Amino acid sequence: MTVTPLPLAPRATRDALGRPLHDLRLSVTDRCNFRCPYCMPKERFDAHYRFLRREERLGFDEIVRLVRIFVALGVSKLRVTGGEPLLRTGLADLLGDLGTLPGLTDIALTTNGILLPQQAAALRAAGLGRVTVSLDSLDEQVFARLSGGMGSAAEVLAGIEAARRAGLAPIKVNTVVQRGVNEHTLPALLEHFRGTGIVVRLIEYMDVGTRNAWQPADVVSAAEMLSLVQSRWPLVPLERELPDQVAQRWAYADGAGEIGLIASVSQPFCADCSRARLSADGVLYTCLFAAGGLDLRTPLRDGASDEQLLALVRSRWQLRTDRYSEQRGQLAGIPVRVEMNRIGG
């Protein structure tokens, strides 16, 4: 596929609070082969749940065209998500096309890892560099509870090893920590990856969507997680690599690598958020906790020009004032929010 570049903006488009548009999270499917209770609880996402039909999802040419629009407005980093993105047939072909976009300097993938043994080599050949694998525990009983009884920790580890053999690097592991569920299994998880070059990132449990029965008491704060880790392995702080990097970086004092802490609840980073999200059906969301978004699929399929699409995206970003995590404690009740399976993490 030949992609004609659009003129790049001299500087990234900024929102109403002065935050630049640098990152795009691209969901390629709303389907997943897990039923994690904090994202797609199986009681809600059962056999009768209606996922997007094929014609409702953006086609690959449509995705490339829209990503090209975002790049022209300042996006340089792209993360491909789902649902589970490896369920999207032909994903390596899409990544190959996206990799030809001038101005897009970094493409990463977030996955549960189960399908990496079959796909890692093709993904690497298509130009994918970085991969992040979700893994909440190595304890198989805890893992089953957190995956809805689907897959196994051993299969995820096999996927990580397949990614390593294929040359995907760096590899990161995302671990969502819930009080009374998996925090007691963190030492074993960290021990497994110490000295491997794989960075584990411990993430505070968030109230994404409206279906996971989230309560503040379920959150293990980053400060608590740091204390837990330091009680076993001394850590030293590291500088952030980029100003808008969400993870606090800590290195093992003995040189066995580093970990990350993502304190999105206890220490919100809304002020530095530069992320837009595009759902599989072509809706632009300007916040992980957004109630609604901007439909780009309809004007795209109705014949809108690149210039018209660019103006729509620019206008929506310039009006953006989202800072949900900073305001969480001031909000009453459970506001309407988009579900995580539609826009990834």
Question: Residue 83's Cα: distance from chain center in Å?
Answer: 10
Per-residue pLDDT band for 44 (boundaries 50, 70, 90) equals confident
Write the Ramachandran bin of 205: left for phi over 0, alpha for psi from -120 to 50, otherwise beta.
beta
More confident residue, 324 or 57: 57
More confident residue, 49 or 235: 235
- Report the pLDDT value the prediction gives residue 200, as an integer from 0 to 100: 98
Between CA 272 and CA 268 the distance in angstroms is 9
Indicate if the pLDDT at residue 224 is higher than 90: yes
Percent pLDDT > 70 in the chain is 95
Query: Could you report the per-residue pLDDT of 108-153, keeping only the tens digit for each?
Result: 999 999 999 999 999 999 999 999 999 999 999 999 999 999 999 9
More confident residue, 328 or 189: 189
Query: Could you report the per-residue pLDDT of 91-109, keeping only the tens digit for each?
Result: 999 999 999 999 999 999 9
- Report the pLDDT value the prediction gives residue 296, as an integer from 0 to 100: 98
Domains belonging to the chain, first-starting first, are 23-343 (3.20.20.70)
What the block records as the tokens of 229 is: 């880790």
Helix or strand run (H / E) with residue 141: helix 140-147
Indicate if the pLDDT at residue 333 is higher than 60: no
- Report the pLDDT value the prediction gives residue 183, as an integer from 0 to 100: 97
Radius of gyration of the chain (CA): 19
What the block records as the tokens of 45 is: 């996402």
Query: Could you report the per-residue pLDDT of 5-40, keeping only the tens digit for each?
Result: 677 666 789 999 999 999 999 999 999 999 988 888
Indicate if the pLDDT at residue 80 is higher than 70: yes
